[in-house]
Amino acid sequence: MLDPNKQALGIYEMICTTSDDRPNSGKTLDELLGRLKKWQEANPALTILKESEPAVLSAFLSESIVWLNSQRMELIHFRICDTVHDGIVIALLRGPRPLEDEVVLRILSEFRNSTSMARLYFPFQPFLGVLTREQVTEEIRSELQRLHAQFSPSPTGKIDERTQKIRSLICDLMHREGEKQPDPGRGPWSQIVFDELQEKEPITQAAWFGVLEHCKSLQQTSPSTKWKKRAADLVTALGKAQAASTMWRWLALGPTPGQPSEARSPIEDSDYQKGIVWCVALDSNRESAVAIADFGFACLRKIRMVGAVSQKVGFACV
């Protein structure tokens, strides 16, 4: 039997040499789709792939992102990418179930690190759709967690429908039975903070809730004099020294505690964090300055392909 990897490579090379006449225009959409369907049915590479053994389909799928990333921003390369996309869909429909762990892990890792054609052409949502929670190993879960962070909403909480669907699929796959999920309106950081407050006596707890609600009310980067006066009164009611040490500890958690390095601080956390930074800044001492500086560095750390962990909180720290 021929090596499945060599057979898959041969099919890819055939795609590269037979995609130059792939239809990409028509008088109407229906005409274009009709021409494209006929072309796909006649393409020898896709025909061979449809008739290939499961091992070849698996090998094609495993290498597909590498092949996509090797293409350039030119017309012929777009056509090749379109045909590779067709091949991936065939491999997903006709390939083995479940997909091998090595194949799944490689695709997740390659996709996460991709910056070019694979992001545009790899059918990531259909790929996630053929996975099951039962086949998710710890290594696969780790990759899913990092991808989940990449598909997070913007710092203002905005997320498009397609991204949300992908994020939901990832979330469902990496979920463990019995695993604690953040409460509604909470992110990883604020969940830790509110969980800690649940252990405090009612009067102290209510006072801290007042501080946090005031923190959340701060919309601009720099607070008004009125906001700072109210914050000072709330902190004084708790006891300045005790409140300061608690807030230093909260900032020491970092903006995304327990999350992968690709995670941004969600709006559920950043709104609270910005206010806490300004509450800490009410005291002009070395400990507060260090706490704010360290938190600011963590917020302004750049995530590849995403941006800063939390730009607005980082600017508040500055």
pLDDT of residue 186: 87
pLDDT of residue 103: 95
Q: pTM for the full model? A: 0.77
- For residue 303, what are the β-bridge partners? 307
- pLDDT 10s digits, 142-186: 999 989 888 888 777 788 899 999 999 999 998 887 677 777 788
Q: Report the percentage of the chain scoring pLDDT > 70.
A: 98
CB-facing half-sphere around the CA of 165: CA atoms within 13 A: 9
End-to-end Cα separation, the chain, in angstroms: 64
pLDDT of residue 74: 78
Cα distance between residue 142 and residue 312, in whole Å: 28
E strand or H helix at 6, and its extent? helix 4-18
Angle 225-238/202-216 helices, nearest 10 degrees? 160
- Does residue 303 sit in helix, strand or coil? strand
- pLDDT 10s digits, 63-91: 999 999 998 877 778 999 999 999 999 99
Residue 30 one-letter amino acid: D
pLDDT of residue 1: 59
Nearest CA-CA partner of 193 in 279, 102, 254: 254
Decide: 84 and 13 in contact? Cβ < 8 Å.
no
pLDDT of residue 150: 85
Tokens for 195, please give them.
């969980």
Tokens for 127, please give them.
């790929």
Give the pLDDT mean for 198-219: 94
- Does residue 75 sit in helix, strand or coil? helix
What is the residue-averaged pLDDT of the chain?
A: 92
Nearest CA-CA partner of 22 in 82, 64, 65: 82
pLDDT of residue 221: 78
Kindly tell me if the per-residue pLDDT of 111 is higher than 90: yes
CA 94 vs. chain centroid, Å, equals: 28
- pLDDT 10s digits, 23-65: 988 889 999 999 999 999 999 999 999 999 999 999 999 999 9
Q: For residue 269, what are the contacts with CB-CB under 8 A and spacing of at least 6?
A: 186, 187, 188, 189, 190, 255, 256, 310
Letter string b/e over residues 46-64, b meaning 16 or more CB atoms within 10 A of that residue's CB: bebbeebeebbbbbbbbbb
DSSP class of 302: E
- pLDDT 10s digits, 237-270: 999 999 999 999 999 999 999 888 888 999 899 9
